[in-house]
Amino acid sequence: FLTALTRGPVSTAIRLTNLRKTFGDVVAVDDVDLEVADGEFLTLLGPSGSGKTTVLRMIAGFEAPTAGTIELAGVDVTQTPPYARDVNTVFQDYALFPHMDVLANVEYGLKVKKVPKAERTQRAQEALAAVRLEDYGARKPSQLSGGQRQRVALARALVNRPRVLLLDEPLGALDLKLREQMQVELKELQRAVGITFVFVTHDQEEALTMSDRIAVFDAGRIAQVGTPVEIYEHPKTPFVAGFVGVSNLLEAGAAATILGREGTWSVRPEKIRVMLGSPAPEAHERAAAGVIHEVVYVGMATRFIVDLDAGGSLIAVQQNTHATSDEVNSMRGQRVTLMWNTEHEVPVGP
Ligand code: ATP
């Protein structure tokens, strides 16, 4: 079953060109261009109302674009109805039929397509095996945990062997622990079946954990597309720097004084070391003097908020390798020097 789904050489699964959607005066999606490769796990990440779901619904065909085109595997499907597109959607609420058992739920799509009984039972069993629920076919959805229901919803989509699977916040209803476990499982499953996944979430950690690439949405537009490392280490705008990870910016006067440069710069908190006193920086290092304004002990690490002499403040995160909570708490109000490698200052705007 798994190998049967593996596709040939890499090509473009989805191409969106100048895609736009307005609802009355509201511009939900504003001129989006995006290519998704065959077999890729691409995440649409952004705050509520930034247009992610609308893009997904247009790819599925549930919503017609105001302008622009959608291609699937090189074919323009902009005017094609949803049922004739080689895509399946998994929603957050799963929408399982409560009166049908798990096997019947998974078989349902094949039944509608008039696939013969023997074949559809076999395919449904294979899809359930792919999500490790082969022994649960006779249960009703109400007899399953949230994570198991989520896996049934996946099996129900996988059984159709779509070229593209669209997932709209599919883990949103799960508690944090289960959610983290399902993130890993879903990524492994995607790798095994080789189907192109387009995954919608507003959770930056989820996006960083699962994706081959992330498209960050800001007010209907894509602010940046890149691998998790590119997005996190080299955010291109203050919005991306703040939405993915903690916003830690040096602006205006602080940038001029500390970096000797104009513009807005981002330095990730875990790249910054907190040193007592005023040690001299090495050639490749930056030093910024300040006072510890707040100390937050978070178990594995401590977060320091430091008011800089040059203006503004920076957050630094240190692993609690040796320090105890009492020790770090006593640092509030102390004069310190923040140090980081110059390669970790990234320009994010003018
Ligand atoms: P969320 O994470 O909350 O689902 P989202 O990023 O998926 O948000 P969309 O649901 O795509 O955002 O909505 C984008 C914008 O379009 C929002 O301002 C929303 O209010 C608006 N919108 C979406 N659907 C409709 C509709 N059917 N009618 C009117 N406005 C809509």
In testing the pocket of ligand 1, which one of 23, 25, 206 has its CB within 8 Å of the most ligand atoms?
Answer: 23
At 246 the pLDDT is 81
Q: Of all protein residues, whose CA lies closest to atom 10 belonging to ligand 1?
A: 53
Integer Cα distance of 174 and 115 in angstroms: 33
Strand partners, 79: none
The three-class DSSP label of residue 99 is coil
Q: Are 53 and 200 in contact (CB under 8 A)?
A: yes
Q: Which atom of ligand 1 is nearest to the CA of 44?
A: 6
The three-class DSSP label of residue 160 is coil
At 3 the pLDDT is 47
256 secondary structure, DSSP code: I
Q: Which atom of ligand 1 is nearest to the CA of 29?
A: 14
Q: Which amino acid is at 321?
A: T
Q: Which amino acid is at 144?
A: L
At 4 the pLDDT is 45
The packing angle between helices 102-112 and 146-158, to 10°, is 20
Q: Which amino acid is at 23?
A: F
Give me ligand 1 centre to Cα 51, in Å: 6
Q: Of all protein residues, whose CA lies closest to atom 20 belonging to ligand 1?
A: 49
Give me ligand 1 centre to Cα 57, in Å: 11
Q: Of all protein residues, whose CA lies closest to atom 19 belonging to ligand 1?
A: 49
Q: Count of alpha carbons within 13 Å of 325, Cβ hemisphere only?
A: 5
Q: Are 225 and 34 in contact (CB under 8 A)?
A: yes
Q: Of all protein residues, whose CA lies closest to atom 16 belonging to ligand 1?
A: 28
Q: Cα torsion at 34, 40, 46, 51 (round to 10°)?
A: 50
State the residue for tokens 């080789």: 194
Report in angstroms the alpha-carbon separations of 32 from 27, 69, 70, 167, 218.
12, 10, 11, 19, 11
Give me ligand 1 centre to Cα 332, in Å: 43
Q: Count of alpha carbons within 13 Å of 138, Cβ hemisphere only?
A: 1
In testing the pocket of ligand 1, which one of 27, 44, 53, 92 has its CB within 8 Å of the most ligand atoms?
Answer: 53
Q: Of all protein residues, whose CA lies closest to atom 26 belonging to ligand 1?
A: 23
At 277 the pLDDT is 84
Give me ligand 1 centre to Cα 62, in Å: 13
Give me ligand 1 centre to Cα 47, in Å: 11
In testing the pocket of ligand 1, which one of 16, 22, 30, 50 has its CB within 8 Å of the most ligand atoms?
Answer: 50
Measuring from each residue's beta carbon to the nearest atom of ligand 1, which residues come in under 6 Å? 23, 26, 28, 46, 48-54, 202
Q: Taking the chain (350 residues) in consecutive chunks of 10 residues, what is each chunk's mean pLDDT?
A: 50 96 96 96 96 96 97 95 91 83 94 92 91 92 88 89 91 83 88 92 93 97 96 92 88 89 92 90 92 90 94 92 78 94 89
The packing angle between helices 146-158 and 176-193, to 10°, is 20
At 130 the pLDDT is 83
259 secondary structure, DSSP code: I
Q: Per this entry, what is the length of the chain? A: 350
